[in-house]
Structure 1
Amino acid sequence: MEMGGKRFAVLLCAEDSDYVKKKFGGYFGVFVRMLAEEGETWKMYRVACGEFPDDEEIGVFDGFVITGSCKDAHGNDVWICKLLNLLKKLDSMKKKVLGICFGHQILARAIGGQTGRNMSGWDIGVTTIHLSSSLKLLSSDLKIPATLSLIECHRDEVRELPAKAEVIAWSEKTGIEMFRYGNHFMGIQGHPEYTHDILLHLVDDRLLQRDLIMESYAEEVRAKMGEGHEPDREAWKKLCISFLKGSTGMDFVRSIEENCKY
């Protein structure tokens, strides 16, 4: 999508599944569908394959999105180390960066946090996320309630953040579901971009085939997803867009407090 105006980059850390390629044109297409607006330019860098923006390119982008990955954010693959160096540059430039799942974890690591396996194991399905009372929306007219449903698919987590970072959401299974660092970095452990179908195909085509989960757990996930509990995709979309494209910094408080009155 190249139309001028604001410019954003997706740092793709995952392999595209056949289903996602066929239906959305890959995970890049999934993110563009959720976040892109008319007049913007969106570009993809397959960082897991070693494709990175050079120093001259970095400056032209208004924001970056880091995707999920089957790799561990606490690993030391060459591309992961290179991504960490890029994120430190973006931090020094105060560039907006939104990290999703692996992206959330690698953002935390880049600022001095710790990541690792979640001691309670995999979290796959629709989870209730509790937003902190200090969470601030970029726009006071965003109506975001104090709890949101979100699709999750992870076995790693952010275990610890540096003092300057703030935990802004949690769930029963994961203590750091969201964090912010300054007004320019925000991480979300879950997948606001996922649909039920994307998750179910991921479970069947990737996690089971690679023996990452047991068939019994896959059946449990399918059953729960079949109950029809939908994630709050529109709310997450508004939240992510407001963070990436807002110009006044994080200002979620009034909207959260107003919604908590109802």
Structure 2
Amino acid sequence: MREIDVVSGEALPDPGEVAGAFITGSACMVTDRAAWSERTAGWIRSAMDRGLPLFGVCYGHQLLAHALGGRVGYLPGGREIGTLPIERLAEAVDDPVAGALPDRFHAHTTHEQSVLELPAGARVLARSARDPHHLLRYGPNALSVQFHPEFNAEIMRAYIHRKRHDMRREGSDERQIYASVNPTPYARRLLRGFVRHHALDR
């Protein structure tokens, strides 16, 4: 596996030279339209044209949607943070990756921006009570999630601790949110399911 630091200007590989890509989270905002971010959006479009398996997480979720013509902005009502219930939609039942999720599962979240308008052809597979676009599919080989399947409970608690002053200022009960952190086994399996489905573990 190769890690590319696009923020520092490291060049992205030709999409034809890799088996797939994970587009990770970031503390930056897609709406800032940073040069490195827009270059990565262009790379995503080229990768989609080639049918490369892509999995976006948080910032990567938003960047995928932005790259393909969707609209990203601040989530109405403020940030989502903590372990939240996620509802898998009927659209996901026959999905080769998301279809393995139960009707309701928990996932770790921390984000202020979200996908507000979908790109043409994107399908919504899961949502939270406040964010209707938590899991999206873009064609046969690309998925993205607003939640963090790579987080464990310890990492989620560390994020809540780090953001506690912002949360208090916004009127959130950070102690209750911290106490509500739980394991998220189904969300974590989503990454493994994507890897297996696209044979990226070989």
- TM-score range normalised by the length of the shorter chain: 0.7 to 0.9
Unaligned runs of 5+ residues in structure 2 are none
Q: Which residue of 2 aligns with 1:232?
A: 184
Change over 3 Å in CA distance of 1:176–1:219 after alignment to 2: closer
Alignment map for 1:1-262 (pairs within 5 Å): 42-55=1-14, 58-135=15-92, 136-138=94-96, 143-205=100-162, 207=163, 213-215=166-168, 220-227=173-180, 229-233=181-185, 235-247=186-198
Contact in 2 for aligned 1:165/1:182 (Cα 8 Å): yes
Unaligned runs of 5+ residues in structure 1 are 1-41, 249-262
Q: Deviations over 1:177-217 (max 9, x none)?
A: 11101011111001111122212323434x45xx7x14466
Aligned residues: 198
Distance 2:100 2:122 in 1: 24
- Matching residue's letter, 1:244: V
TM-score (norm. length: structure 1): 0.69
For residue 143 of structure 1, report the CA deviation from its aligned partner.
4.8
Change over 3 Å in CA distance of 1:247–1:151 after alignment to 2: closer
- Matching residue's letter, 2:96: L
Moved over 3 A (4+): 214-219
Q: Which residue of 2 aligns with 1:24?
A: none
TM-score (norm. length: structure 2): 0.87
Q: Which structure has the bigger radius of gyration? A: 1
Contact in 2 for aligned 1:137/1:242 (Cα 8 Å): no
**SS where residue 44 of structure 1 aligns?**
coil
For residue 156 of structure 1, report the CA deviation from its aligned partner.
0.5
- Matching residue's letter, 1:50: G
Distance 2:32 2:115 in 1: 13
For residue 90 of structure 1, report the CA deviation from its aligned partner.
0.6
Give me the CA root mean square deviation: 2.4
